[in-house]
Amino acid sequence: MAQVDFTERQLTLKLVYYGPPLSGKTSNLRALHGMVDQLNRGRLMTLDTRDDRTLFFDLLPIFFRASGFSFRIKVYTVPGQPVHEATRKVVLAGTDGIVFVADSQPDQREANRASWQNLVANLASLDLSEVPVVVQYNKRDLPDAVALDQVDRFGDPARKLEEACAKAGAGVVSTFFELVARTWERLDRDLKLAEKLGIDGAAFGRALAEHVGVTTDRIGG
Ligand SMILES: Nc1nc2c(ncn2[C@@H]2O[C@H](COP(=O)(O)OP(=O)(O)O)[C@@H](O)[C@H]2O)c(=O)[nH]1
Ligand SMILES: [Mg+2]
């Protein structure tokens, strides 16, 4: 759960990008890093092996001030390979919100499904089943991408889906803001953030948007 420090007037959120191997989690973080003002971000830490797969995790810290409060958002990715189960659990612990990056390619359906089931099981075991999950279908640029009305909605036919071409940066910021909004909503319900911090979700989103390039985020443009 988010850490609120009233003495230091500081709130720290932890967000995690989850999904099967090579779906584009690190690409999301790279694109996001490129769209955050330099003054408001820390170093993007990525740790890739030679075959392009994340070995441990990536971390992008974002920070900004609003209403006399310091906000820190720590954005992580997990390694997707089944063998890295222990790392995934450690990264997932205490998370406030999740983006599930699914791969749009038809041959990745099973990998998406396996990773989703792994996420659901890990959230249950960490007592995090109430944490908001935003589903992003990435690699929409590929010619064989499964049509959006035919993709897996992971058990919820009404589930809202985000579309992205993370490699080109499209859809990355809108996914991130959807996650931030849903995370705030949920924390506000449980921690009465707006009341305690004197800033509501909309104002929080606006303050964040001043430092993250919303205008550069257009699918196909
Ligand atoms: N065509 C296409 N390839 C992508 C896209 N996003 C990521 N990739 C590629 O998919 C591979 C895996 O991406 P990466 O971000 O490392 O995936 P991760 O394992 O989930 O962190 C890389 O070769 C990326 O260049 C996309 O939107 N479109
Ligand atoms: Mg990665």
pLDDT tens, 168-210? 999 999 999 999 999 999 999 998 888 888 889 999 999 999 9
Ligand 1 centre distance from Cα of residue 23 (Å): 6
220: confidence class by pLDDT, cuts 50, 70, 90: very low
Q: In angstroms, rounded to a whole number, what is the distance separating the alpha carbons of residues 174 and 110?
A: 26
54 Cβ inside 6 Å of ligand 1? yes
How does pLDDT run across 48-100, given as a tens digit for each residue? 655 556 667 789 999 998 888 899 999 999 988 888 888 889 899 999 999 99
Decide which of 102 and 197 is more confident.
102
Pocket lining: 141 vs ligand 1, CB cutoff 6 Å: yes
**Is residue 33 lining ligand 1, measured as CB closer than 6 Å?**
no
Q: Which ligand is nearest to the CA of 22?
A: 1
- State mean pLDDT over 131-143: 98
The architecture (CATH level 2) of 3-209 comes to 3-Layer(aba) Sandwich (3.40)
Q: What is the pLDDT of residue 57?
A: 78
Q: What is residue 44's predicted lDDT score, i.e. its pLDDT? A: 86
For residue 20, the ligand 1 atom closest to its alpha carbon is 20
The domain segmentation of the chain, as residue ranges, is: 3-209
26 pLDDT tier (thresholds 50, 70, 90)? very high
Q: Is 136 in the pocket of ligand 1 (CB under 6 A)?
A: no
- Kindly give the interhelix angle for 109-125 and 85-92, rounded to the nearest 10 degrees: 50
Cβ atoms within 10 Å of 212's Cβ, excluding its own: 22
> Are 105 and 144 within 8 A, CB to CB?
yes
- Integer Cα distance of 192 and 80 in angstroms: 34
Mean of per-residue pLDDT scores for the chain:
90
Q: Say if ligand 1 is within 6 A of residue 208 CB.
A: no
User: What gap in Å lies between CA 195 and CA 188, rounded to an integer?
Assistant: 8
Q: What is the pTM of this model?
A: 0.93
